[in-house]
Amino acid sequence: MLEAQVIKDALLYLGAKKQDEQAISLLEKVLKEYRPLFCPRQVTAFFRVKDAKDALTFEGCEITLEGESIRKHFQGATEGLFSAFTLGMALDKKLRELSLSHPAESVALNALGSAYAERMADKLLKEVRDQKEAQGFKTTFRFCPGYGDLALSANTQIAAALGATKKIGLTVTESGLLLPIKSIVGVTACLPL
Amino acid sequence: MQGFSIFDGAMGTMLQARGLKAGAFPETYNLTHPDIVLSIHKAYVEAGADIITANTFGANPFKMKGLNVAEIITRGVEIAKASGAKKVALDVSSHGALLEPNGTLSFDEAYQNYAFIMRQGEKAGADLILIETMSDLLETKCALLAAKENTSLPVYVTMTYMEDGRTFLGTDPVTATITLCSLGADAVGVNCSLGAKDMIPLVKTICEYATCPVIVQPNAGLPKIQDGQTVYDDTPEDFASAMLEMANLGVTILGGCCGTTPDFIRALKTALANKTPVTRTVKARTAATSATKTVFLGEGVKVIGERLNPTGKKKLKAALIEGDVDYLLHEAIDQERAGADILDLNVGLPEIDEAATLVKVMKEISATVSLPLQLDSSSKEALERACRLYNGKPIINSVNMKKESLDAIVPIAKKYGATLIGLCLGETMPSTHEERFAYAQALVKELTARGIQKSDIVIDCLVLTIATDEKQAEETALAVKQVTEELGVATVLGVSNISFGMPDRLKINAAFLSKCLQAGLSAPILNPLVAEYAEVLKGKLLSLDTSSYFTFEKEGAEGIRGMICCGGVGGIEEAVKEALKTKEPLEIINGEFIPALDEIGMQFEKGEVFLPRLIAAAEVVKKGMDAMRSGEKEEDKDPDVILATVKGDIHDIGKNIVKMLLRSYGYKVMDLGKDVDEQAVVDAWKKTHAPLIGLSALMTTTVPSMKNTIDALKAAGSTAKVAVGGAVLTEEYAQKVGADYYGKDARATVKIAEKVIRS
């Protein structure tokens, strides 16, 4: 089920507008061969909203989120569910190798990695969101630094508060990029019902 | 419990219980809450810890910009000393950023940071250095070197492994243990990530390979989230009983990591009360490592790939002179896929800066293939620099019995823990097996006297061609046999040297290989892609399958145009050669290649075919071009296009696709790589005056680098047109940064090149 969705998403990422049989068979082959390299890991934490007047701040951690987009996203929320996810470094290395030896496969694997990361991160996060919803909360979609006017630099703060480097091997470069490449950092707002 | 050293347990966990915020620097408590830090240290001393770890884990100028790191370290060590501990360890860990080429942090910058930390810690009075929770073997090596070169303190090193037995960057415990022991660590082991019980299999492995004491600092079990808080599931008793098992394996330095408390240390102390350390026996083995793999020499036959050596290889030589690292990476990947165990790397050419090139190529290869490298050079400077920056335990090829060679090479091998090949050569050239053996014996004696472990010595019995002396094959094989049986060290041979100046070289080489393997040769240096050798190695080498990666149907593929449109590589070379009988090369390019690429390009624009197909077509064209050029002299001209991914950005897949397509349209492309400094682009333009420069950036954060690069080009008087591309770019962005063109995709960039260069 997940695999079929991943291939569908990857087709879209590749810009295949039709049901391109060649593309599908390549994606299937590449996914089958390199799926063992995907090593999904997630770390999450809830922090209560402390102040939402100007910038959003949270209790018990050093995260400050600025901008109109995140403020809107958190309207009525009392807690933030912070999450970091990565597929791991082995994929980065394989992409580097394939981009030289088998460029078509590297492009396919790159799209598959993005698609798989999105789907898997959603799946893992859903388990945590479901628990929260069972406690009488509504949870929003995952809002990531880079969306709207939320700066990429928020990646650094969130990753630090989650201990993401130590726990799942995710790092943030000085320019705010995530490494390994297929990684996702974000926050879900939790609103009491 | 004589002979054990007991470390303390967690600091972060204890500080969080006292109000430390997530994401805040625990080390700032040394200045703001010294009383809290001291009380935690004291609780561990009372629980029985011999060594207290100063609260300096993340105290690093790289992470703590704007803070007084020197003072934080000094106070951290002072507070730990005030606890009454027998010994205090300076605590050091990762930068939290990846080193080049995986990330953007340079080895030199990381080294400077570590050197500063180590000096500060020793000055403050630390008794030893603990480098812990490391995932990146290269960063760990960097920290260990900084500790050894800037202090006289003992250095303990622990890596952190996941459930799969590897670090986040893929290093396994055998590789880490061998590499770190070779670099002179005073204790090696494992910490964090796992609970004590789950750590036992890893520790067993480490104990089999560690030539120094083994240190273990597990977590208090696995973390769980309870009411939004992280809690660990082991009791002090669970912890102590698993630790006792590890003491029985030979571990002598024990403590705790995340989630452990003074109660855990007290239980540990009690469990070890009546124990004496277990003596381990570690078998000496000859090894080379990459970051993720260890290869043992002298245990079965191992193949060392010889293709990364410009001697007699025109294309490789040209690639080195042009700085075309991709070509070398291809060679590396091909050899790995063909079954090589280790790759020899030699970039010695008079035209280039050998040290700089060796380091650059070595880094890229290490980041792309998994095999250990054999650094092949006679330059002291090149070897010193490469061994220092190598991610693992390399092999050095080679030293010989000449005094200047010994004086230059041995100290490098010793310092960096490399395995060293001793070549049977001195002031005279050996001819017989007796002469070779005499050199081998002298080398083992001399190298061990100079401090190299015998297990780190490999002998090359020296292959000389049979063209001038037909007995050479027999003499060399005999020498291999004698060295193996009487000296007990591993052997290597450059197999193909046997047939210099001879016809039927492959046939001779294969037969010679067979002879030497029977004599006990540990590791032939050869071309792993040659089928004849693979047969001799009896299935030990897998043949390289070059046709497997395009699965496109070749149905309807008629003629050159058809083959390109279908993306099937088979047959193109023959088709081109056939066409050359009646047509001029330019006719084929203009009449077949370009229309086919245009056709597939149009289909791509319309969304009828997808990107890999466009690439596949370009690959077919490349093959066709190669076939056309074979036998011809490589065109010697300046590039038409300079390509670079701008500073701060390390995503280069898009740029590489553009490069490939441009090349298949016949443009000469100079690729400066990724994370490219503005000045490097300016310099490249000044040197070549290329009419078109392509800049790529994937992230919004690195678009300003694009503008800076364009500004710098303009300031330098560049007349080149600049095209920009990348996921976040738009026509509007392109104008904003001052570019002349916006390349929406690879196909669009080709059209730009046509406009700029061919119009």
| B413-449 confidence digits (pLDDT tens) | 999 999 999 999 998 889 999 999 999 999 999 999 9
| B722 vs A15, higher pLDDT | B722
Q: Is the pLDDT of residue B85 over 90?
A: yes
Interface of B with A in 582-621 (CB under 8 A): 607-613, 615-616, 619
Of A15, A168, A175, the CB nearest to B699: A175
Asked whether the beta carbons of residue A97 and residue B368 sit closer than 8 angstroms, the reply is: yes
The reported pLDDT for the residue numbered B540 is 39
The reported pLDDT for the residue numbered B612 is 60
> How many CB contacts within 8 angstroms connect chain A with chain B?
154
The reported pLDDT for the residue numbered A172 is 94
- Based on the number of CB atoms within 10 Å of its own CB, is B62 exposed (0-12), middle (13-18) or buried (19 or more)? buried
Asked whether the beta carbons of residue A92 and residue B102 sit closer than 8 angstroms, the reply is: yes
Q: Return the structure tokens found at B408.
A: 């230059």
Determine, yes or no, domain membership for B544: no
Q: Are residues B34 and B173 in the same domain?
A: yes
Q: Return the structure tokens found at B281.
A: 């026996």
Of B567, B608, B612, the CB nearest to A18: B608
pLDDT tens track for B496-532: 988 876 667 888 888 899 999 989 999 999 999 998 8
Q: Is B449 on the interface with A (CB under 8 A)?
A: no
Which H or E run contains B722?
A: strand B721-725
Q: Return the structure tokens found at B434.
A: 């007796």
Q: Which residue of B has its CA nearest to A40?
A: B168
Parallel/antiparallel/unpaired status of strands B286-289 and B490-494: unpaired
Bridge partners of residue B441, in order along the sequence: none
Confidence of residue B544 (pLDDT cuts 50, 70, 90): very low
Q: Is the pLDDT of residue A123 over 50?
A: yes
Q: Is the pLDDT of residue B694 over 90?
A: yes
Residues B744, B754: Cα–Cα separation, whole Å = 15
The reported pLDDT for the residue numbered B545 is 31
Q: Return the structure tokens found at A3.
A: 């695999």
Determine, yes or no, domain membership for B277: no
Determine, yes or no, domain membership for B227: yes
Asked whether the beta carbons of residue B22 and residue A62 sit closer than 8 angstroms, the reply is: yes
pLDDT tens track for B197-251: 999 999 999 999 999 999 999 999 987 777 666 789 999 999 999 999 999 999 9
The reported pLDDT for the residue numbered B568 is 67
Q: Return the structure tokens found at B357.
A: 């090139």
Q: Are residues B394 and B305 in the same domain?
A: yes
Q: Are residues B701 and B564 in the same domain?
A: no
Q: Is the pLDDT of residue B634 over 60?
A: no
Of B102, B337, B613, the CB nearest to A179: B102
Q: Is B747 helix (H, G, I), strand (E, B) or coil?
A: helix
Confidence of residue A18 (pLDDT cuts 50, 70, 90): low
- In degrees and rounded to multiples of 5, residue B260 shows phi and psi of -80, 150
The residue among B604, B629, B654 that closes a domain is B629
Residues B491, B398: Cα–Cα separation, whole Å = 12
Interface of A with B in 105-134 (CB under 8 A): 105-108, 110
Contact indicator for B126, B153 with CB cutoff of 8 Å: yes
Which H or E run contains A95?
A: helix A89-101
Q: What are the helix (H) ranges across B224-346?
A: 236-249, 262-271, 314-322, 325-337
Domain of residue B195 covers 5-271
Span A36-48, average pLDDT: 95
Residues B690, B632: Cα–Cα separation, whole Å = 24
Q: Are residues B567 and B501 in the same domain?
A: no
Span B44-71, average pLDDT: 97
Of A63, A96, A102, the CB nearest to B549: A102
CATH classification of the domain holding B420 = 3.20.20.20
Q: Are residues B743 and B695 in the same domain?
A: yes
Q: Is the pLDDT of residue B633 over 60?
A: no
Q: Return the structure tokens found at B543.
A: 């043949």
Determine, yes or no, domain membership for B251: yes
Of B94, B367, B610, the CB nearest to A16: B610
The reported pLDDT for the residue numbered B630 is 66
Asked whether the beta carbons of residue B102 and residue A89 sit closer than 8 angstroms, the reply is: yes
pLDDT tens track for B354-384: 999 999 999 999 999 999 999 999 899 999 9
Q: Are residues B249 and B304 in the same domain?
A: no
> What b/e readout covers B343-360, taking b as 16+ CB neighbours within 10 angstroms?
bbbbbbeeebebbebbbb
Using CA atoms, how far residue B227 sits from A107, B575, B635, B646, in Å, is 43, 70, 69, 45
Q: How many CB atoms lie within 10 A of CB B449?
A: 9
> Does a cis peptide bond (omega within 30 degrees of 0) precede residue B135?
no
Of B370, B610, B747, which to mutate for an interface test with A (greatest number of A Cβ within 10 Å)?
Answer: B610
Asked whether the beta carbons of residue B368 and residue A63 sit closer than 8 angstroms, the reply is: no
Q: Is the pLDDT of residue B732 over 90?
A: no
CATH classification of the domain holding B576 = 1.10.1240.10
Q: Are residues B265 and B370 in the same domain?
A: no
Q: Is the pLDDT of residue B543 over 60?
A: no
Determine, yes or no, domain membership for B161: yes
Q: Is the pLDDT of residue B551 over 80?
A: no
CA dihedral B489, B490, B494, B498 (to 10 degrees): 60
Residues B91, B94: Cα–Cα separation, whole Å = 11
Bridge partners of residue A47, in order along the sequence: A80
Asked whether the beta carbons of residue B660 and residue A179 sit closer than 8 angstroms, the reply is: no
Q: At what angle do helices A21-34 and B611-629 cross, to 10 degrees?
A: 90
| B383 vs B734, higher pLDDT | B383
Q: Is the pLDDT of residue B586 over 80?
A: no
Determine, yes or no, domain membership for B281: no
Asked whether the beta carbons of residue B96 and residue A163 sit closer than 8 angstroms, the reply is: no
Q: How many domains does chain B have?
A: 4
Determine, yes or no, domain membership for B652: yes
The reported pLDDT for the residue numbered B309 is 93
The reported pLDDT for the residue numbered B554 is 46
Could you please report the per-residue DSSP string of B644-684?
EEBTT----HHHHHHHHHHHHTT--EEE--SSB-HHHHHHH
CA distance B727 to chain A (A): 12
DSSP classification of residue A61: B
Residues A173, B649: Cα–Cα separation, whole Å = 10
Q: At what angle do helices B236-249 and B196-209 cross, to 10 degrees?
A: 10
Q: Is the dihedral of CA B501, B507, B511, B516 positive or negative?
A: positive
Residues B692, B684: Cα–Cα separation, whole Å = 12
Confidence of residue B552 (pLDDT cuts 50, 70, 90): very low
Q: Are residues B109 and B136 in the same domain?
A: yes
Interface of B with A in 553-582 (CB under 8 A): 553, 567
Residues B753, B61: Cα–Cα separation, whole Å = 45
Give B-chain residues touching A60 at CB under 8 angstroms.
Answer: 21-22
Q: Is A49 helix (H, G, I), strand (E, B) or coil?
A: strand
The reported pLDDT for the residue numbered B567 is 72
Share of chain B above pLDDT 70, in %: 92
CATH classification of the domain holding B169 = 3.20.20.330
Q: How many CB atoms lie within 10 A of CB A100?
A: 20
Determine, yes or no, domain membership for B546: no
CA dihedral B324, B326, B331, B334 (to 10 degrees): -170
Q: At what angle do helices B472-482 and B433-449 cross, to 10 degrees?
A: 40
Q: Which residues have C-beta within 8 Å of that of residue A138, sequence separation ≥ 6?
A: A190, A191, A193
Domain A2-192 CATH assignment equals 3.90.1150.10: no
Residues B759, B754: Cα–Cα separation, whole Å = 7
Q: Are residues B309 and B202 in the same domain?
A: no
Residues B596, B561: Cα–Cα separation, whole Å = 5
Q: Are residues B323 and B398 in the same domain?
A: yes
Interface of A with B in 42-71 (CB under 8 A): 44-47, 60-63
Q: Return the structure tokens found at B556.
A: 């309807």
Span B652-668, average pLDDT: 81
Q: Are residues B492 and B587 in the same domain?
A: no
- Give B471-475's long-range contacts (Cβ < 8 A, gap of 24+): B472/B431, B472/B498, B473/B498, B473/B512, B473/B515, B474/B515, B475/B431, B475/B432, B475/B433, B475/B436
Q: Return the structure tokens found at B233.
A: 């599931």
Q: Are residues B159 and B31 in the same domain?
A: yes
Percent helix / strand / coil, chain B, rounded to 5: 45, 15, 35
Span B62-84, average pLDDT: 97
Confidence of residue B606 (pLDDT cuts 50, 70, 90): confident
Give B-chain residues touching A152 at CB under 8 angstroms.
Answer: 699-701
pLDDT tens track for B89-115: 999 999 999 998 888 899 999 999 999
pTM of the model: 0.80
Give A-chain residues touching B98 at CB under 8 angstroms.
Answer: 171, 173, 179
Interface of B with A in 296-335 (CB under 8 A): 326, 329-330, 333-334
Give A-chain residues touching B553 at CB under 8 angstroms.
Answer: 22
Q: Return the structure tokens found at A138.
A: 């509504």
